[in-house]
Amino acid sequence: MTDGATPTSPPVHGSGIFPRRRRWPAALEARADIGGGILFFALCLFSWIGPLLYPHNPLAIHAHHILAAPDARFPLGTDALGRNVAARLMRGGQATLAISLWASAIGLLAGLLYGLTAGLGPAWLDHLLMRLLDALLAIPTLILMIFFAAIVPLNEVSLALLLGLVAWPPIARLVRNEAFAARERDYVRAARQFGAGRLYIARVHILRAMLPLVIVNATFLMADMILGLSGLSFLGLGIQPPHASWGGLLNSGAGLAVIGSWWLIVFPGLAIFLAILAMNMLGQGLLARLNGEERG
């Protein structure tokens, strides 16, 4: 090994992927995954089923109801152009959640491929790939996102690719460490002696062993993608008007909240907060169950 001592299976918390996350109280962790799953499912229903139950055009302008406060006709009020905030919040939820989901899948797939290649490859390849990974991790993620968002055409596909391709390095490091530790275990050595190739070992043995840890980190990655996309949209580098996104709605209402239009920032901000909370609760609960199974 060329990158230090042989690693043991690292826990998700403190592994360097999401070092800012802290463990929740045990009583909350016990059912956090159920609560997070229900909350995220409710947000998905609001975003995709809501427009069927509340069929209002998010781009329609109501000239006589500009900056109208929430009432029976406009449950979440209207914006500076008289557009229905509830309809735009639903449409923005579709874009935000879909792009974040695809970005998470791209980042997870790229991290798995890179980490398995480094962890199961020869020593010189592992050393080369890890040095490259160290260089990528040294660059602030926000700077990378702003740089690429400023030079590529902004649409849903490019945003999903952008977010996914800046999110994979931490996943790759985790997968590489797990693969490096797993390849020295007895069942992997036995499979190698029976003539199993690296691809078979990675697919049948190592991926299966690390799957719970990967799933837990995927939920945290989804939360980061929602936050990253909302941040880009708030800065004007995400989903472009007139199309809605939660970050874009927050940006458009930021300057109007000071004159009393509080609903323009409260509802988009609450949606972002609840989505991130849901994925963190889901990840924390899954992690608690995983740790409980390991102790059992």
Within a domain: 42: yes
Q: Which domain holds residue 259?
A: 30-52+77-295
Average pLDDT, the chain: 83
- Residue 209 is part of a domain; what is its CATH number? 1.10.3720.10
Task: Place 209 in a pLDDT band, splitting at 50, 70 and 90.
Answer: confident
Within a domain: 248: yes
**Total tally of structural domains belonging to the chain:** 1
Within a domain: 21: no
Q: Would you say 174 and 213 are in contact if contact means Cβ atoms under 8 Å apart?
A: yes
Rg (C-alpha) for the chain, rounded Å, is: 22
pTM of the predicted model, to two decimals? 0.84
Which pLDDT belongs to residue 19?
41
Please state the φ and ψ torsions of residue 170, each to the nearest 5 degrees. -65, -35
Report the distance separating Cα 35 and Cα 37, nearest Å: 5
What average pLDDT does range 198-213 have in this prediction?
78
pLDDT at 89 over 80: yes
Within a domain: 87: yes
10-19, 45-54, 175-184 — most confident range = 45-54
Within a domain: 264: yes
What average pLDDT does range 62-86 have in this prediction?
91
Task: Place 151 in a pLDDT band, splitting at 50, 70 and 90.
Answer: confident
pLDDT in tens, 106-136: 999 999 999 988 888 888 998 999 999 998 8
pLDDT in tens, 214-269: 889 999 999 999 999 999 899 888 888 888 999 999 988 887 776 788 999 999 99
Which pLDDT belongs to residue 5?
41
